[in-house]
Amino acid sequence: MTAVFTPSLFDVDPEESDVGSGGAAEVSWTGAHRTQLDERSWADVVPGWLPRSDGWFSELVGTVAWNQRRRRMFTQVIVEPRLTCGWGLAEAPSPSEHLAAELVARYRVPFDRVSANFYRDGADSVAWHGDRVRFVHPAPVVAIVSLGAPRRFGLRPLAGGGTRWLTLCGGDLLVMGGRCQHEWQHTVPKEPGAGPRISVTFRHGDPGPVAARSERARDVPEWALR
Ligand SMILES: O=C(O)CCC(=O)C(=O)O
Ligand SMILES: [Fe+2]
């Protein structure tokens, strides 16, 4: 089965100031929609969660100390096809703390880590993966705010089955929960012609580099799947 969701941008009043340039960063949960991926995993999409987000996008492009990560694969060194930066919540660029507070109030998990990913054009991407936070949490909630150009986002079950595709536009929020990081994978594929995009991700219980591996944890508490 293949499902396509295309969140639309809300109308923007050009008189109102942008987030990131002194704007109020009010979020809107109107239009929030949960997709139950299976009985243990879910994904919420909130189109237009962060209105007037273009100012924050431009600010982040220009001010973040972007890193180019490299990964060693056997004898090869792979240059990650995107730029990244990560912070503890207190150090993350404004209005991250305010946005995290909104997410904590809604999802009741202690978001404390923020990362930004800069996809400079359609040649940048992230391959199919589950987030490393799964190594330390049986049911982590991962929230992603999309800024800038629209990009496709895929979700596929590890057990096999159809890929779900959605399109994330500037200001849209995607939240993955339940067993999504363990039993599903996600990707932002290359997309020729796509414009620049930043995703700002909020996580809790980030494992760090020396995390104890608990991926095989089978005892997922009932509360964690809601
Ligand atoms: O850019 C996105 O929307 C996804 C980023 C992501 O999956 C990750 O950094 O783990
Ligand atoms: Fe991810």
User: For each of the chain's 226 residues, which pLDDT tens digit applies?
Assistant: 444 444 444 344 445 556 765 556 899 999 999 999 999 999 999 999 999 999 999 999 999 999 999 989 899 999 999 999 999 999 999 999 999 999 999 999 999 999 999 999 999 999 999 999 999 999 999 999 999 999 999 999 999 999 999 999 999 999 999 999 999 999 999 999 999 999 999 999 855 454 444 444 444 555 554 4
Residue 47 CB neighbour total at 10 angstroms = 21
Lookup result for tokens 């982590």: 140
Name the residue at shortest CA distance from atom 8 of ligand 1.
Answer: 131
How many angstroms does the Cα of residue 77 sit away from the middle of ligand 2?
21
Count CB atoms within 10 A of the CB of residue 89: 18
Residue whose CB lies within 8 A of the most ligand 1 atoms, among 114, 126, 142, 175, for a mutation test = 126
Q: Cα separation of 9 and 197, whole Å?
A: 15
CB-based contact 187:127 (threshold 8 Å): yes
d(CA 2, CA 165): 7
CA angle 117, 153, 141 (to 5 degrees): 70
Task: Answer whether 201 contacts ligand 1 (Cβ < 6 A).
Answer: yes
> What is the interface pTM, i.e. ipTM, of the complex?
0.99
Q: What is the pTM of this model?
A: 0.85
33-205: in CATH 2.60.120.590: yes
Among protein residues, the one whose CA lies closest to atom 9 of ligand 1: 117
Rounded CA-CA distance 12/99 in Å is 19
